[in-house]
Amino acid sequence: MGSSWSWRRGRPTAGLAVAVAALLTFHGVVPNTLLHLGSLLETVLVWLILAVPVLVEVAVLRRSLLALVASLLPVVAWFGVFGGGLLPASGQFDVTVVQHNVNDVNPDPAGTARALAALRPDLIGLVEVTVPAYGEALAEQYPYSTVQGTVGLWSRYPLVDARHLDIKPAGLAADWNRGLRAVARTPFGDVAIYVVHLPSVRLGPTAGFNTTRRDDSARKLGAVLKAEPLSRLILIGDLNSTVDDRGLRPVSSQLTWPAADYALSWPAGAPVARIDQVMARGAKVISVRTLPRTTSDHLPIAAHVKV
């Protein structure tokens, strides 16, 4: 290690800093053909900022001005991608939506339902609903509801045309039922409400980041959304994906959501990603935030929506 700072040392560290900045900015060029590495990168994209302290430390140890300056590039790139989420949400909203993956083995479903209702949202969308306790706990405050398979919707507004939504990927049993569509008769007009739960992804040494079923289900959901006749819709669900993941593009290309935010929802004990989403078309999701932990392995999220 040199005794004085130099522009000559630290070229490998500077190169690594440039690579991290490039991944943040041009993550879409990383191919998905090999082990779905593109989707994996986009799922953890926000965490690439953690490379910066390491790069800075190495630059200081090497007394490298080149590496130190280059370490600023990932910071600039990160703020370019995610900085909007640091700005405070603003704007009036009409509807409060709560979404929660309640966990199919939740030991306290009634308590979970009461905790969600305490916020007094207008719409509650739940996935992994396997027992009637949720509906029983919500019935008094939410007179309108529909449960299709393992997804459910509870509403302060009348619901019409509630039906099962077929987003089942290939290779799963006929009883796989994780989607619904209903129309909420809100004071602001009719809004199509979708509650969905896309298949889980798996990370393994041979298959890599296996998103095949999730991506298949997302394509089917995207086709349904494209055919939706109502101009306004709200999508509520566990998409097993961050909004940056290209596997969600058939859905995300048609909808909007708040600027990049940090309402990380999974796993509940130490959240690393927000795979639970509230998105919209013909309406605007003003903000999304996490709610206090329930007895599920996900955190619930709440969204304010301008209809």
Same domain? 56 vs 178 = no
Residue 45 inside a domain? The answer is: yes
Chain centroid to Cα 92, Å, comes to: 23
Q: Which of these three, 69, 86, 103, is where a domain ends?
A: 86
Q: Give the pLDDT of residue 35.
A: 83
Same domain? 75 vs 184 = no
State the total domains in the chain.
2
Residue 6 inside a domain? The answer is: no
Q: Which of these three, 63, 86, 109, is where a domain ends?
A: 86
Angle, helices 51-62/72-82, rounded to nearest 10 degrees: 160
Residue 3 inside a domain? The answer is: no
Same domain? 24 vs 61 = yes
Same domain? 74 vs 116 = no
Residue 163 inside a domain? The answer is: yes
- 250-305 pLDDT per residue, tens: 999 999 998 766 799 999 999 999 999 999 999 999 999 999 999 999 999 999 99
pTM of the shown model: 0.92
Same domain? 225 vs 284 = yes
Same domain? 236 vs 135 = yes
Q: Give the pLDDT of residue 143.
A: 97
Residue 4 inside a domain? The answer is: no
The pLDDT of residue 23 is above 90:
yes
Residue 187 inside a domain? The answer is: yes
Same domain? 174 vs 292 = yes
* Model confidence band, residue 88 (pLDDT cutoffs 50, 70, 90): confident
* Model confidence band, residue 185 (pLDDT cutoffs 50, 70, 90): very high
Residue 276 inside a domain? The answer is: yes
Same domain? 65 vs 106 = no
Residue 117 inside a domain? The answer is: yes
Look over the chain and give the mean of its residue pLDDT values, rounded to a whole number. Answer: 94
Q: Give the pLDDT of residue 85.
A: 75
Residue numbers of the domain that contains 295: 95-306
Q: Give the pLDDT of residue 207.
A: 65
Same domain? 54 vs 115 = no
- Is residue 126 exposed (0-12), middle (13-18) or buried (19+ Cβ within 10 Å)? buried
Q: Give the pLDDT of residue 217.
A: 97
Radius of gyration, alpha carbons of the chain: 22
The pLDDT of residue 206 is above 70:
no
Q: Which of these three, 86, 105, 122, is where a domain ends?
A: 86
Q: What is the CATH number of the domain that holds 222?
A: 3.60.10.10
d(CA 186, CA 123): 11
